[in-house]
Amino acid sequence: MVSAAAANPIQLSLSWVDYLMIIVYFAVVIGIGFTARRQVRTSMDFFLSGRSMPAWITGLAFVSANLGATEILGMAANGAQIGMATLHYYLIGAVPAMVFLGLVMMPFYYGSKVRSVPEFMLRRFGKAPHLVNAIAFAVSNVLIAGINLYAMAIVIEAMLGWPEWLAIIVSAGFVLVYITLGGLSSAIYNEVMQFFVIIAGLIPLTIVGLHRVGGWNGLSSAIAHTQGVEHLSTWAGTAIGHTTNPIGANWLAIVLGLGFVLSFGYWTTNFTEVQRAFSAKNMSAARRTPLIAAIPKLFIPFIVVIPGLIAAAVIGNQFADPHSGLTYNDAIPKLIQMYLPTGVLGVAVTGLLASFMAGMAANVSSFNTVFTYDIWQRYIKPNMPDVHYLRTGRWVTIAGVLIGIATAFIAAQAQNIMTYMQTLFSFFNAPLFAVFILGLLWKRMTTSAALWSYILGIVTPTITWIAYLVNPKLFATATAETLYGAIISFVTVLVVGVVISLFTKPKAERELSGLVYGIGKIDLHGDAVATDTAWYRSPALLGTVALVLCVVLYLPFL
């Protein structure tokens, strides 16, 4: 690997107090793993927490699982580079899809009692599409786990002086221990704790940073003297035919590519996220999981994107200087070095470590579930005692972490890890969402149509990406390529799926009950306790509040 900290431009001087905080945090992480182990008696306990978690726990874990390295470093880097246009990734690129998951998709997932998203593919379409989906998910998940590991390694190397290989192995080792011990419960409880640690680290950084630049007015003035007003506008330069925004795409591509295909594909079909809702104690809690998560998700930009803007205002010239040793990914670590004193410094570093571990733990816990249930149990070793699958899950966890270490070295070859991850989403999540939405809304969708449209939906964005590598002039930016690639994938699935369905035989309607909209009834309240049906816990109310807040938060930055 090429060292990201050759000149150590963000090397920190931690005191014993700071190191003590880090040590205590890691001790608590392992302690939670040992505690959660006592609750693991069956494979369902290990992989889905026995479907026993309350909504507030699963909701916080849902948002924390997404607060990995790419979220904290990547979105802050975007904030420094493209400014408030990064809000698109939250306000149309996350929250609406989370609301859709809670209101529309979770009743099908949870009501059908499937144990994973690929298993829903099996129930709706059959074995061939299911196997392709399970393999594709497993591959994409270990690749994304490598991104989280690599991002953690480069920051630890630069901030603490550890070699990258040591940082990768140590961080992977801690994740391995607590997931192997306590399974999903261990991951979820740690993610809840990690959520508060991350917030505790980033809020002081944002407050101190804003104070140092003279508040919002001072920041606005400083930004205006760097790269101009576009930093503080979300939609400037997105007119069709006159695209000048830093994303490199017009408003239609942003809305369709990011706000619809990539967003809905990620938040509604990515089992790494959806698994938290699967572990909820009843249908009401499962539906509320992404809706509860949507509320803090709305405000994450203010402690991630704004620090990126602050970094652009105070050290933006260093990001453009190849001799400085800094990149946009160093925005938050550099601000931590500049502004935070002993004690608070330890909290901030612990918050970064927590974010990296949350992301990788989410990848590993979903990988072991899909591999064990959807590949091992279904196709390799069916009809074995439950203890066999519990033991297999622990061994698969070890394998997943080891593969994640290997894929971290693949991530090291990417020029931009955020774009690399978005590219993976356009390959795998975009076509899966298209297959699911067509299959949920149209009973005529057939097994053959699902299989071949899904495969071609993976192939077409891959070809688009390769074409862009050969001729970069095809798209204004690499980010724009992922948006257009996702749209191409989605359209491919719709066209191929409809055409093949018209020439092949669909399943009998009786086999589609609870799997297709309008066929069979889903009981949304039958398993809910009385308190879960209170008006203020209504999924429709929570979803409406989240969508209204999306609009309100856009207004100051139009």
Higher pLDDT, 71 or 367: 367
Range of the domain at 389: 16-413+530-557
What is the pLDDT at residue 224?
74
Query: How many structural domains are present in the chain?
Result: 1
238-239 and 242-243: which strand pairing?
A: antiparallel
What is the C-alpha R_g of the chain? Answer: 23
What are the two backbone dihedrals, phi and then psi, of residue 280, each rounded to the nearest 5 degrees? -65, 160
Residue 347 has pLDDT above 50, yes or no: yes
The closest of 422, 414, 417 to 148, measured between CA atoms, is 417
Angle at 23 between CA 19 and CA 355, to 5 degrees: 95
| pLDDT band for position 6 (cuts 50, 70, 90) | very low
Residue 2 has pLDDT above 50, yes or no: no
What is the pLDDT at residue 323?
74
Q: Quick check: is 341 in a domain?
A: yes
- 57-61, 222-226, 462-466, 485-489: segment of lowest average pLDDT: 222-226
The tokens describing 335, both together, are: 């601000």
Query: Which DSSP category does 508 fall into?
Result: P
Residue 229 has pLDDT above 70, yes or no: no
Higher pLDDT, 377 or 411: 377
Per-residue H/E/C for 74-97: HHHHHHHHHHHHHHHHHHCCCHHH
What are the two backbone dihedrals, phi and then psi, of residue 523, each rounded to the nearest 5 degrees? -80, 110
Q: Quick check: is 28 in a domain?
A: yes
Question: Which residues are within 8 A (CB) of 455 and not within 5 positions of it... i.e. 6 or more apart?
Answer: 132
Please give the C-alpha separations between residue 376 and each of 247, 264, 391, 550, in angstroms, as whole numbers.
42, 28, 12, 42
C-beta of residue 290 within 8 angstroms of C-beta of residue 98: yes
Q: Quick check: is 509 in a domain?
A: no
Residue 54 has pLDDT above 50, yes or no: yes
Question: Which residues are within 8 A (CB) of 511 and not within 5 positions of it... i.e. 6 or more apart?
Answer: none
What is the pLDDT at residue 513?
87
Considering 27-41, 180-194, 342-356, 492-506, the range whose residues carry the highest mean pLDDT is 492-506
C-beta of residue 329 within 8 angstroms of C-beta of residue 304: no
C-beta of residue 88 within 8 angstroms of C-beta of residue 258: yes
The closest of 218, 210, 236 to 305, measured between CA atoms, is 210
What is the pLDDT at residue 342?
79
CATH code, domain with 337: 1.20.1730.10
Question: Which residues are within 8 A (CB) of 501 and not within 5 positions of it... i.e. 6 or more apart?
Answer: 442, 444, 445, 446, 449
Q: What is the pLDDT of residues 127-161, one digit of tens each?
A: 999 999 999 998 888 888 888 777 777 777 767 77
Task: List beta partners, residue 238.
Answer: 243
Q: Which residue has the tokens 């400085």?
A: 324
Q: Quick check: is 549 in a domain?
A: yes
Cα–Cα dist 538/242, whole Å: 43
Q: How far apart are the first and last CA of the chain?
A: 41
- Quote the pTM value: 0.90
Question: Which residues are within 8 A (CB) of 506 and not within 5 positions of it... i.e. 6 or more apart?
Answer: 443, 444, 445, 446
Residue 242's H or E segment, with its range, is: strand 242-243
Please give the C-alpha separations between residue 302 and each of 112, 203, 299, 431, 486, in angstroms, as whole numbers.
38, 9, 6, 32, 28
| pLDDT band for position 7 (cuts 50, 70, 90) | low
Q: What is the pLDDT of residues 484-527, one digit of tens each?
A: 999 999 999 999 999 999 999 999 988 888 888 888 777 676 66
- 26-30, 235-239, 500-504, 522-526: segment of lowest average pLDDT: 522-526
Residue 455 has pLDDT above 80, yes or no: yes
What is the pLDDT at residue 233?
82
Q: What is the pLDDT of residues 325-345, one digit of tens each?
A: 777 778 888 888 888 887 788
Q: What is the pLDDT of residues 371-397, one digit of tens each?
A: 999 999 999 999 999 999 999 989 998
* Burial track 235-249 (b if 16+ CB lie within 10 A, e otherwise): bbbbeeeebebbbbb
Cα–Cα dist 364/324, whole Å: 36
C-beta of residue 194 within 8 angstroms of C-beta of residue 360: no
Instruction: Sort residue 359 into left (φ over 0), alpha (ψ -120 to 50) or beta.
Output: alpha
Query: Which DSSP category does 116 fall into?
Result: S
Percent of the chain with pLDDT over 70: 94
Angle at 136 between CA 132 and CA 138, to 5 degrees: 120
> What is the residue type of 264?
F
Question: Which residues are within 8 A (CB) of 317 and not within 5 positions of it... i.e. 6 or more apart?
Answer: none
Q: Quick check: is 502 in a domain?
A: no
Q: Quick check: is 38 in a domain?
A: yes
Cα–Cα dist 511/513, whole Å: 6
Q: Quick check: is 103 in a domain?
A: yes
Q: Quick check: is 223 in a domain?
A: yes
Stretch 244-264: mean pLDDT: 87
What are the two backbone dihedrals, phi and then psi, of residue 53, each rounded to the nearest 5 degrees? -85, 140
What is the pLDDT at residue 530?
59
